[in-house]
């Protein structure tokens, strides 16, 4: 029986040169965690046989389960299965079931006939169990060796997710005795990391060995994660509950949310508790703040919607920002962002309006307002708060920080 430690290897030049962010690994790790599997390492390597072989060898020596994604396309730069043949000392053979699945896919899409490049996707390592990919043309390969498991799957996110959920996890659960991993989250405000650590040091020192505490600072607030690992799930839950209760008693009002991993979910809990509804006016962030807030399930309870006023005419027409103010102060100014926050609050009939206006870059900066200058405002029925930032990052970084700082402004508003 394979041990339950997992290593993930993601293969592709596009990951290694930073063209895409490897979000597959996080998805897989989180999915495995929920079923009690623990990831020990994540490695990303280019489409180069030496690097791929070395990473497989290293993973196989540490982990009981190795999951590979990517490098299964029909073209010359995709070499994963050739590497697997080398590693498992086997050869490629034609598989009729894979070919039939491919034919079906092609017929559904209706446009092209299968050529020799496609046909090569039906060639699979002889020594593996082949699993048909019902969402694409590249099959999965399942290898077992010396009680360990290696699975190669496609890197296309939709196909990867389908493979993990429908094909890989059910087989893993059959093969491997997984241990329970339970995690609890507490959100704490008002303490810098080191002060909090000092304040709860005695409690932390007394934690039983099955429990592990992590500090996950989110700018001005702290996310505490308590992880428990063991084979006895009921016992773990009791242990966690009693220690969490002790911690909550210790921290009192400083705990403002629990049970959720993201700041937007934590804020959602507070907004629901306070019965407040939110509307947004976004300019340079283009909708990213709304997208972040609505990542939280159930966000429709407090999020009404946004007006993304990328063009100035929309700031005037829909948010009632006076034309003369835009002319005199500029779209990126305290006055305009406050008018936007107030404008969207009234237009969308919400309790709170939040607005962002800034210069994300790379163009559009000036000496007075360099790239990275962002104004963020929050308006309610009585007041309007406004903060100015100069992030000095690239476009993506400036937008990310603007979204994050808007959440922090909301948090401060709710608790200051």
Residues 77-136 that bind a second copy (CB under 8 A): 77-78, 111-112, 114-118, 121
Shortest CB 357 distance to a second copy, Å: 12
* DSSP single-letter state for residue 366: -
Compute the distance between CA of residue 29 and CA of residue 225 in angstroms, rounded to an integer.
16
Shortest CB 96 distance to a second copy, Å: 18
Q: Which of residues 381-410 bind a second copy (CB under 8 A)?
A: 391-397, 399-401
Is 71 within 8 Å of 78 (Cβ atoms)? Answer: yes
Q: Which of residues 23-42 bind a second copy (CB under 8 A)?
A: 23, 25-33, 38-42
For a second copy, the binding residue among 2, 15, 239, 407 (CB under 8 A) is 15
Token pair listed for 142: 């399942």
Neighbour count for residue 76 (Cβ, 10 Å): 9
Shortest CB 292 distance to a second copy, Å: 8
Q: Is beta strand 180-189 parallel, antiparallel or unpaired with respect to 255-258?
A: antiparallel
Token pair listed for 294: 């609505």
Neighbour count for residue 258 (Cβ, 10 Å): 15
Compute the distance between CA of residue 195 and CA of residue 101 in angstroms, rounded to an integer.
59
Q: Does 17 bind a second copy (CB under 8 A)?
A: yes
129 or 226: CB nearest a second copy = 226
Rg (CA), the chain: 26
Return the range that interacts with a second copy (CB under 8 A); candidates 79-87, 88-96, 244-252, 279-287.
Answer: 279-287
Q: Does 250 bind a second copy (CB under 8 A)?
A: no
Return the range that interacts with a second copy (CB under 8 A); candidates 143-151, 188-196, 242-250, 321-329.
Answer: 188-196
Compute the distance between CA of residue 180 and CA of residue 400 in angstroms, rounded to an integer.
35
Q: Does 318 bind a second copy (CB under 8 A)?
A: yes
Q: Which of residues 189-228 bind a second copy (CB under 8 A)?
A: 192-195, 197-198, 204, 212-217, 225, 227
Helices (H), 88-182: 96-109, 116-120, 157-162, 169-175
254 or 308: CB nearest a second copy = 308
For a second copy, the binding residue among 130, 180, 291, 320 (CB under 8 A) is 291
Q: Binding mask 131-170 vs a second copy (x if CB under 8 A, - otherwise)?
A: -------------------------xxx--xx--------
Cα(first)–Cα(last) distance of the chain, in Å? 55
* DSSP single-letter state for residue 75: S
3-state class of 132 per DSSP? Answer: coil
194 or 234: CB nearest a second copy = 194
């Amino acid at each position: 029986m394979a041990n339950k430690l997992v290593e993930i290897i993601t293969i592709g030049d596009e990951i290694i040169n930073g063209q895409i962010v490897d979000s597959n690994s996080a998805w897989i790790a989180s999915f495995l965690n929920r079923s009690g599997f623990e990831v020990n390492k994540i490695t990303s390597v280019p489409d180069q046989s030496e690097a791929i072989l070395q990473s497989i060898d290293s993973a196989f020596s540490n982990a009981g389960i190795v999951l590979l994604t990517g490098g299964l396309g029909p073209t010359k730069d995709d070499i994963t299965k050739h590497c697997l043949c080398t590693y498992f000392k086997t050869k490629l053979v034609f598989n009729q079931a894979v070919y039939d699945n491919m034919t079906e896919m092609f017929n559904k899409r209706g446009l092209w006939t299968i050529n020799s490049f496609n046909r090569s996707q039906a060639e699979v390592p002889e020594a593996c169990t082949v699993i048909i990919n019902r969402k694409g043309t590249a099959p999965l390969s399942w290898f077992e060796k010396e009680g360990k498991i290696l699975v190669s799957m496609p890197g296309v996110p939709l196909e990867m997710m389908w493979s993990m959920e429908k094909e890989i996890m059910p087989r893993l659960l059959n093969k491997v005795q997984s241990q329970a991993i339970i995690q609890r989250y507490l959100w704490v405000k008002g303490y810098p990391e080191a002060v909090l650590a000092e304040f709860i040091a005695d409690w932390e020192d007394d934690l039983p060995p099955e429990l592990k505490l992590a500090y996950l600072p989110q700018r001005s607030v702290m996310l505490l994660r308590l992880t428990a690992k063991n084979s006895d799930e009921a016992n773990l839950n009791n242990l966690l509950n009693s220690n969490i209760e002790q911690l909550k008693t210790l921290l009192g009002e400083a705990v403002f949310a629990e049970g959720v991993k993201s700041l937007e979910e934590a804020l959602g809990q507070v907004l629901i508790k306070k019965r407040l509804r939110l509307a947004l006016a976004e300019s340079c962030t283009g909708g990213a703040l709304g997208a972040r807030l609505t990542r939280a399930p159930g966000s429709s309870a407090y999020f009404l919607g946004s007006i993304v006023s990328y063009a100035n005419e929309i700031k005037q027409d829909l948010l009632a920002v006076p034309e003369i103010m835009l002319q005199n102060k500029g779209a990126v100014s305290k006055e305009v962002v406050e008018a936007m926050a107030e404008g969207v609050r009234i237009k969308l009939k919400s309790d709170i309006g939040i607005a962002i206006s800034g210069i994300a870059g790379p163009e559009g900066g000036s000496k007075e307002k360099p790239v990275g200058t962002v104004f963020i405002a929050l308006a309610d029925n009585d007041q309007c708060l406004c903060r100015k930032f100069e992030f000095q990052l690239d476009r993506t970084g400036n937008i990310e920080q603007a979204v994050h700082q808007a959440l922090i402004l909301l948090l401060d508003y709710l608790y200051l």
